[in-house]
A and B are shown apart, each in its own frame.
Chain A
């Protein structure tokens, strides 16, 4: 049998290496260091789970039908599903009770023979689990990150790439997404990266609360850690192990998000193995099949109609970090990834140097899901969401054009109208786009708050544009007291922001009206 993973209750909260050996079990066997040739089963064979049957003898079933449930963690109910390639009639099914993952729980009579089913099933990692149909994504994956949700959103079932040189914040961003995105199950793959980063996740996640359920985040998370000093062949396997586990939870009907940090290390592992096999190299020594392998991996994402007799849906969103050498996006891994993914968050070393975080460059990044998910924002948050977003983008674009001119003539030489525009753009950058992952409130920004913040900033922008037309001096505007309040919007508690933002808005109106009347 090709390299396969074990699927069943017990995956969540666990941490595995690239070939699904559980790291806690390995530590028990060999101590703090991983010696060669250790074996440990991925899932605990002795632990008993409380199984509740959902079907009865005589029912006709096909692949992916749910025959029972197990409460796996405080958040997730693990659906016991028929393996995709089996269909037939249930001859017998065990009654509610405690079973291990290797106990027989049902017997299915198929065309050829009777098959005994256990709670655990196996699946080869390089073969996608089949689905009935792929749908277009329509719902946003809410991440609580302003630049992502408002400016460059990713859809549930979508794909995104986040390339950037070292120190630009790839890992912090992926950790943020793993923490706050509103997927039900998160698979985090640390592929050839630092050991301490995985330790951070391991220490932090059990303490953090899932914003929706209030339960520990770890209860919805599976970790795969194949750090840079662990074997290269297992690194190559790690993302496939991860996505197969993601597909398994998707088949239960969950929205799953998979983060892979970093796909460049996966590509390098391919390169290393390909080199050892003495294959003819393609660009920069990478194997010629690099592009097709990456495409195969990302294509395992999607919002899908699941197999099975009932009409059920599930999704996998895939977010991959790319670590281009020298931060140069023209290299093969970044370029081949960009041809596949729909969302591109370009990390920028200049922004990172200025401690503008997240250092996603708003002029280079894009999202192709804006129109698909507009309906959701309209319905749930605000009718004019896309309009506001586009208006802000135009301001930022104009700012960058003006900056070219400033470099030649200095800011004072610009007319007041342009200087007011610069001021608005700066507020969008500093008071909206910048977001601190380490601030207790700012780390997660609800969609409604994002919308309100942007609306207030753009209102301010309109007001000052009007004011300069009525001959208010630009310096008076820059020295407005309410600007400070705008800057502190992001740290206003997520519970009573609506009231406070309204107050700020009123104050701005008052102050600017005073200025206009005083100036006239």
Chain B
């Protein structure tokens, strides 16, 4: 790595968020650069590419005001690091890891490379501890477990922030009192949205076990690239060094991907779909895959990334690549929200891949899996019939089909819909499920074992 003392004044080009320095010796990929502008202001950057003696630097605070004559750059010989200690909880940081809550900087126990290292798949523990969020559509149908990464796919104007806050507020593992922390990472959201979370954490007393990393909408875009990495380095420390259960909320991944595209465009890379770089899958994976559990460690990292699908399009590269990496997704639907249903979770495209190991006897209840499958199948059939009714009218339907229609309507009103502060236990959720299933003819409950029908189906319907 370069000598710390050399100040290079050989900046030859400034383009978008990038700056090119020539005649540089011995620099390393990802090395941190301290930049001094003509006015003496100091900025931070990171080496993106080094070729012969040319170095491409991405400047976190933006390149406005940088010139090629007077700007100087110093390569500090190490990669981006975050100082961590247990005092990190209750604090708020900006995009470069400096505190912005007015209190003095923390005294770090250790400084860690924010890029982290991949968890050895052999060292992972398979996530199987049920987290009760109190939201029926999640607990009952798309169960969240500790160590999972479960994103919320939303659209502009939908209440994804309320849902994320509700999850952070209500999430618990049944029958256990364990050390719990929230890491909140805001990438390019508005001050108003950030305040919603801060207020909510304050009112529930969660703020003191929360570490916040904020890069608001008017903060430098490029900082969004390193922000989630800092937040996850912090989470890794909390989870695997301090034995805490860290819930990481990343919002909004769409803004992160935009920042990634901005850099790729400035570097004149061959673009992939919709101008996003071809390596976006790998890049997103380096964030999402930092969730998980490790054998022999008490703590865990659970991620809830939020993203707004541009034009509600689930095939857009951002939700698409996210869905390929994360262990399921919660999808919100505008139509439901317009029908005054909160949370507007469109259950059919939702999924939790880790659900099967987290539910059942001893975790939730023995009938959970079959009830969930039956609710899904019945609701899907009901929705299909709705399309049919729109054309042929309800009178053309058989009695059986009419019951499925009613099921679908009641399902949305009773199961999906609930209050922002309504914290349903898993028992309550399953009971509502059984009540709804009793609308259907018993012979249609093909996905449920006879013994559970005998045990749980409301008396009068058996």
- Chain A residues in contact with chain B, CB under 8 A? 15, 23-24, 26-27, 30-36, 165-167, 171, 190, 192, 194-196, 198-200, 202-203, 225, 227-230, 232, 265, 268, 271-272, 275, 281, 284-285, 323, 325-328, 349, 352-356, 406-413, 430, 438, 475, 478-479, 483-484, 487-488
Q: Are A167's CB and B118's CB within 8 A?
A: no
How far, in angstroms, from A430 to B380 measured CA to CA in the complex? 14
Contact bitstring B314-329, A, C-beta under 8 A = 1, else 0: 1111001101110111
B127, B271, B316, B398, most chain A CB atoms within 10 A: B398
B116, B121, B271, most chain A CB atoms within 10 A: B121
Give which listed residue, A23, A285, A328, contacts B271 with CB less than 8 A: A285
Q: Are B122's CB and A15's CB within 8 A?
A: yes
Q: Are B119's CB and A33's CB within 8 A?
A: yes
Q: Are B122's CB and A229's CB within 8 A?
A: no
Known: A196-B292, A353-B349, A354-B348. A34 touches B270 (CB 8 A): no
The B282-318 residues at the A interface (CB cut-off 8 A) are 282, 285-286, 288-290, 292, 294-295, 297, 314-317
> Chain A residues with Cβ under 8 A from B101's Cβ?
none
User: Shortest CB–CB separation between residue A26 and chain B, in angstroms?
Assistant: 6
User: Shortest CB–CB separation between residue B284 and chain A, in angstroms?
Assistant: 8
Known: A166-B320, A272-B282, A412-B397. A33 touches B273 (CB 8 A): no
A15, A26, A200, A479, most chain B CB atoms within 10 A: A200
Interface size class of B (residues with CB under 8 A): 35 or more
User: Shortest CB–CB separation between residue B433 and chain A, in angstroms?
Assistant: 14
Give which listed residue, B124, B391, B393, contacts A408 with CB less than 8 A: B391
Say yes or no: is B107 at the interface (Cβ < 8 Å to chain A): no
Stretch at the interface among B14-22, B208-216, B245-253, B369-377: B369-377
How far, in angstroms, from A24 to B124 measured CA to CA in the complex? 11
Give which listed residue, B118, B314, B348, B356, contacts A230 with CB less than 8 A: B118
Say yes or no: is B8 at the interface (Cβ < 8 Å to chain A): no
Contact bitstring B375-388, A, C-beta under 8 A = 1, else 0: 01100110000011
Q: Are A275's CB and B323's CB within 8 A?
A: no
User: Shortest CB–CB separation between residue B356 and chain A, in angstroms?
Assistant: 6
> Chain A residues with Cβ under 8 A from B240's Cβ?
32
User: Shortest CB–CB separation between residue A337 and chain B, in angstroms?
Assistant: 17
Q: Are B315's CB and A326's CB within 8 A?
A: yes
> Chain A residues with Cβ under 8 A from B327's Cβ?
194, 196
Q: Are B126's CB and A196's CB within 8 A?
A: yes
> Chain A residues with Cβ under 8 A from B381's Cβ?
354
> Chain A residues with Cβ under 8 A from B369's Cβ?
438
B116, B240, B324, most chain A CB atoms within 10 A: B324
Say yes or no: is B147 at the interface (Cβ < 8 Å to chain A): yes
Give which listed residue, B273, B278, B324, contacts A275 with CB less than 8 A: B278
> Chain B residues with Cβ under 8 A from A354's Cβ?
348, 376-377, 380-381
Q: Are A325's CB and B315's CB within 8 A?
A: yes
Say yes or no: is B281 at the interface (Cβ < 8 Å to chain A): yes
How far, in angstroms, from A116 to B319 measured CA to CA in the complex? 56
B119, B122, B126, B373, most chain A CB atoms within 10 A: B122
Say yes or no: is B452 at the interface (Cβ < 8 Å to chain A): no
